[in-house]
Amino acid sequence: MKTELKEKPRAVDLASLERQVKEMYRAVADEPHREYHFEMGRGLTERLGYPVADLDRIPAQAIESFAGVGYFFDLAALRPGETVVDLGSGSGTDTFIAALKVGPKGRVVGIDMTDAQLAKASRLRDEAGFAMVEYRKSYIERVPVDDASVDAVISNGVINLSPDKASVFGEVARMLKPGGRLAIADIVTEKHLPEGVTCNADLWAACIGGAMQEDDYRAAIEACGMNVVAIVPNTAYGFISDSARGATGKWGVKSVSLLARKPG
Contact between 20 and ligand SAM by CB under 6 A: the answer reads no
Helices (H), ranges, the chain: 14-30, 42-48, 52-55, 60-64, 73-76, 93-102, 115-128, 165-175, 195-198, 201-205, 214-222, 242-251
Strand 227-233 vs strand 254-261: parallel, antiparallel, or unpaired?
antiparallel
Does residue 90 belong to the site contacting ligand SAM (CB under 6 A)?
yes
> What is the length of the chain?
264
76 binds ligand SAM (CB under 6 A): no
Residue 113 near ligand SAM by CB under 6 A? yes
Tell me: does residue 257 bind ligand SAM (CB under 6 A).
no
Q: Write down the number of H helices and E strands in the chain.
A: 12, 8
- The reply on whether position 158 binds ligand SAM by CB under 6 A is yes
Residue number of the CB atom closest to ligand SAM: 90
Stretch that binds ligand SAM, among 113-121, 196-204, 220-228, 237-245 (CB under 6 A): 113-121
Alpha carbon distance 11, 157 (integer Å): 22
- Residue 257, beta-bridge partner list: 185, 232
Q: Is 209 in the site for ligand SAM (CB under 6 A)?
A: no
**Pick from 20, 25, 125, 165: which binds ligand SAM (CB under 6 A)?**
25
Per CB under 6 A, does 72 bind ligand SAM?
Answer: no
| Contact footprint for ligand SAM (CB under 6 A) | 21, 25, 66-68, 88-90, 93-94, 112-114, 117, 139-141, 156-158, 161-162
